[in-house]
C-alpha cells in the first residue's frame, strides 16, 4: 500500500498506526520545510502519510486479543458506571531535562501517579531514548524479553506496573482519525482515569495542523505527553506537558504545565501515532 493511500485508512486491524521512527519525539522541535499555513484535516493526513517512516510493527495475536478484551471491558465500565462528568488524577508534571526527553518525562509522570518513582535518566535508559527521542514503535525497550513488543513506552509501563495488575497497550490511529477511533479513545480515557491510571499520548503535530496548547503551529513537532483526566464525560482531555519549565526549549515559557483540550482534537493531533493505555 502506498504512503498516500495509508492516509485514508487505519493501518492495522489491531489499531496500531504509523509514526516517524527516525525523527525526534521532541528534539528541538523539528524545523518545518513548509510554510505551515492552516490546513484541513485531510491535507494534514496526506502530509503525514507523505512524511511517515515508521516500520508499522504489528501486535502479536495475544496482544491483539488482550487489547480487544480490555476494550470490551471499557465499554461495559462506561455503560455501568454512575454518571461522572469529570475526574482528574494527581498532577505529576515535570519539566523534561533535555529537548528530546519528553518520552522519559511523560512515562515518569505516569508512573508517579501510581507511586512508582523512576527518574527521567532511569526511564530514558529503559525506553532506549536517544538524541532522536523516544520511538513509537520499532525499538525493544530495555526490559525483560517477556515485556518486549516493539513499543517501548507501553512495554516500560507494563514492566514497571505489572505487579499492580497493569498491562499497557499501544493504540494506533489513522492519519485522519475516524469517528469510531475518536469514540473509542473517549471510552478508554474515561475508563482508565476512573480506575486511577494515566494514559500517555504521542502527538504528531504537523505544520498548519492542530497543536497542543502553546506549541508553535507552524512547526512539525513529535511529543509524548501524559493524559491525567477528563471532563464533560470524556469530551475533553486533561493532560500535562513536560515542555513547561524545560530550559532547553526556546518556546517553553508559552506552554502551561496542565491543559485541557477537546478529546477529538487530541485524537487528531495523535493521528499517525496514537496513545498508550
pLDDT tens digits, one per residue of 130-175: 999 999 999 999 999 999 999 999 999 999 999 998 999 999 999 9
Contacts of 76 (CB under 8 A, 6+ apart): none
**Predicted local distance difference test score (pLDDT) of residue 177:** 97
Residue 37 pLDDT level (bands cut at 50, 70, 90): low
3-class SS of residue 179: helix
Region 91-107: mean pLDDT is 98
Distance CA 77, CA 190 (A): 9
Q: Is the pLDDT of residue 29 over 90?
A: no
Region 183-199: mean pLDDT is 97
Kind of pairing, strands 236-240 and 221-231?
antiparallel
- Of the candidate ranges 28-42, 72-86, 259-273, the one whose mean pLDDT is the lowest: 28-42
Region 54-77: mean pLDDT is 93
Q: Name the H helices within the chain.
A: 3-6, 41-50, 61-80, 102-112, 120-127, 152-161, 179-194, 263-269
CATH of domain 3-276: 3.90.70
Contacts of 277 (CB under 8 A, 6+ apart): 168, 169, 171, 188, 189, 192, 197, 199
Region 248-256: mean pLDDT is 97
Region 56-68: mean pLDDT is 93
Q: Is the pLDDT of residue 262 over 50?
A: yes
Q: Is the pLDDT of residue 34 over 80?
A: no
**Predicted local distance difference test score (pLDDT) of residue 18:** 33
Q: Is the pLDDT of residue 252 over 90?
A: yes
Q: Is the pLDDT of residue 26 over 70?
A: no
Q: Is the pLDDT of residue 13 over 50?
A: no
The percent of residues above 90 in pLDDT, for the chain, comes to 82
Q: Is the pLDDT of residue 22 over 60?
A: no
In the chain, where the domains are located: 3-276
Residue 200 parent element (H or E): strand 199-205
Amino acid at each position: 500500500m502506498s504512503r498516500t493511500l495509508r492516509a485514508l485508512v487505519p493501518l492495522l486491524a489491531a489499531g496500531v498506526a504509523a509514526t516517524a521512527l527516525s525523527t525526534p519525539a521532541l528534539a528541538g522541535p523539528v524545523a518545518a520545510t513548509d510554510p505551515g499555513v492552516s490546513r484541513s484535516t485531510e491535507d494534514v493526513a496526506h502530509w503525514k502519510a507523505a512524511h511517515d517512516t515508521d516500520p508499522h510493527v504489528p501486535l502479536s495475536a495475544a496482544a491483539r486479543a488482550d487489547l480487544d478484551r480490555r476494550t470490551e471491558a471499557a465499554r461495559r465500565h462506561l455503560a455501568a458506571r454512575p454518571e461522572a462528568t469529570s475526574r482528574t488524577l494527581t498532577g505529576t508534571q515535570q519539566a523534561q531535562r533535555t529537548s528530546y526527553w519528553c518520552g522519559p518525562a511523560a512515562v515518569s509522570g505516569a508512573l508517579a501517579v501510581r507511586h512508582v518513582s523512576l527518574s527521567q535518566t532511569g526511564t530514558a535508559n529503559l525506553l532506549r531514548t536517544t538524541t532522536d527521542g523516544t520511538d513509537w514503535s520499532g525499538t525493544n525497550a530495555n526490559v525483560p524479553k517477556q515485556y518486549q513488543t516493539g513499543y517501548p513506552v507501553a512495554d516500560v509501563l507494563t514492566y514497571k506496573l505489572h505487579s499492580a495488575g497493569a498491562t499497557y497497550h499501544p493504540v494506533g490511529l489513522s492519519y485522519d482519525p475516524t469517528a469510531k477511533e475518536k469514540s473509542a479513545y473517549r471510552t478508554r480515557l474515561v475508563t482508565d482515569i476512573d480506575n486511577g491510571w494515566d494514559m500517555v499520548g504521542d502527538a504528531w503535530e504537523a505544520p498548519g495542523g492542530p497543536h497542543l496548547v502553546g506549541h508553535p503551529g507552524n512547526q512539525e513537532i513529535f511529543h509524548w505527553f501524559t493524559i491525567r483526566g477528563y471532563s464533560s464525560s470524556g469530551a475533553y482531555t486533561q493532560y500535562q506537558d513536560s515542555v513547561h519549565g524545560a530550559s532547553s526549549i526556546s518556546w517553553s515559557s508559552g506552554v502551561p504545565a496542565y491543559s485541557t483540550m477537546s478529546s477529538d482534537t487530541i485524537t487528531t493531533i495523535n493521528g499517525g501515532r496514537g496513545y498508550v493505555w
